[in-house]
Amino acid sequence: MGDYIVLIISCIFVNNIMLAQFLGNCPFFGTSKKMETAVGMAMAVIFVLVLAGVITWMAEAFILKPFNLEYLRTIAFIVVIASLVQFVEMFLKKSIPALYAGLGIFLPLITTNCAVMGACLININEEYTFLQALVASFSYAVGFGLALILFAGVREKILLARVPKPLQDTSIALVTAGILSMAFYAFKGMV
């Protein structure tokens, strides 16, 4: 049990996928202008990453490993994740329209999100068990969502501040992201 708590804390804070491992920069900047979109995106990532983590773990364990095809891992995962997202989109549209209305527009945007891909590859590299992979995927996604929502909050506040002209918009966002990332470095060594 204790191991899992350590794993969760490590994935959310210490090794935060965005702020410590710098994966998933595009949605991090693209969807953090408004709190509303940030929350939607965070939910979508959690949903997709858990599914992707599980499916890719199974693909590794039951197909790639037995046939000694580990060197195809990256390209195979890309295909699997992309198809998965497409599939999930269709499934939601038909079966859970309410959820689709909330997440639908974000799903195609994260088809090729590196945070999703990164977390799946980490799961394999760390040689996690199935349950560990599930928990880790979920925690990484929560970590990403946390970073995104924090960042959106900060950006909304920045709008109110007097930013020097050359630093406005994306530049100040990058600076802010850097500071946020340094703050997360404080968690290093905790686990």
Which positions lie near other proteins, rule CB under 8 A?
A: 30, 37, 40, 67, 69, 71-72, 75-76, 79-80, 83, 86-87, 90-91, 93-95, 105-106, 108-109, 159-162
Instruction: Report in angstroms how near the CB of residue 70 gets to other proteins at its nearest.
Output: 11
Is the Cβ of residue 109 or residue 154 nearer to other proteins in the bound state?
109
Instruction: Report in angstroms how near the CB of residue 69 gets to other proteins at its nearest.
Output: 6
Q: Please give the Cα distance from 29 to 36 (Å, whole number).
A: 14
Is the Cβ of residue 15 or residue 32 nearer to other proteins in the bound state?
32
Return the residue matching tokens 């210490």: 14
Is there a contact between 76 and 14 (Cβ–Cβ < 8 Å)? no
Is the Cβ of residue 156 or residue 181 nearer to other proteins in the bound state?
156
Instruction: Report in angstroms how near the CB of residue 114 gets to other proteins at its nearest.
Output: 16
List, as one string, the DSSP characters of 77-131.
HHHHHHHHHHHHHHHHHHH-HHHHHHHGGGTGGGTT-HHHHHHHHHHHHTT--HH
